[in-house]
Amino acid sequence: MLTSNLSTLVLAQAAPAGGVLGGLTSFLPIILMFVVLYFLMIRPQMKRQKETKAMIDALAKGDEVITAGGILGKISKVTDNYLTLEVSNLADKPVEVLVQRVAVTTVLPKGTVKSL
């Protein structure tokens, strides 16, 4: 009787150690999915956001840009949050539009806009 009680006690103590390892391996696929999602989705998105912020911060007078609304123009004035875009010349008077800096999606190479 003492031997059977002793063997039951030893087996009962050994079981939780395997249960902890089994619990960790059940979370392994979830951890691997998060790592894969980080490298395939989160990291490239953060890189794109960083490049966009650098582009917006580097905007200067004379740059030719396209806005999110599809307006093509040349920057004539730059403030902290807004840009003044020259979109056309009518009778020697420029047509200017005020847009937010964050509305700029693309900076074009110099000389792209010729007919302003």
Per-residue model confidence (pLDDT) at position 24:
79
Instruction: Tell me, yes or no, whether 54 and 64 share the same domain.
Output: no
Q: Is residue 114 part of a domain?
A: no
70 and 43 in a single domain? The answer is: no
Would 113 be classed as within a structural domain?
no
Number of domains in the chain: 2
Asked if residue 74 and residue 103 are part of one domain, the reply reads: yes
Q: In this structure, what are the phi and psi dihedrals at residue 100, rounded to the nearest 5 degrees?
A: -75, 150
Please, is 87 exposed, middle or buried when counting C-beta atoms within 10 Å of its C-beta (0-12, 13-18, 19+)? middle
Q: Are residues 48 and 8 in the same domain?
A: yes
pTM: 0.66
Query: Would the pLDDT of 65 be above 90?
Result: yes
The answer to the question of residue 42 being in a domain is yes
| Residue 50 structural domain | 1-58
Residue 115 counted as domain residue: no
Q: What is the pLDDT of residues 83-113, one digit of tens each?
A: 999 998 887 888 999 999 999 999 999 888 8
Among 35-44, 45-54, 72-81, 83-92, whose mean pLDDT is lowest? 83-92
- Residue 69, domain CATH: 2.30.30
Q: Are 53 and 64 members of one domain?
A: no
116 part of a folded domain: no
- The dihedral built from the CA positions of residue 58, 79, 115 and 68, taken in this order, carries a sign that is positive
**pLDDT tier at 7 (50, 70, 90 boundaries)?**
low
Nearest to 76 by CA among 85, 88, 68: 85
Task: Kindly state the percentage of the chain with pLDDT values over 90.
Answer: 64
Q: Is the pLDDT of residue 15 over 60?
A: no
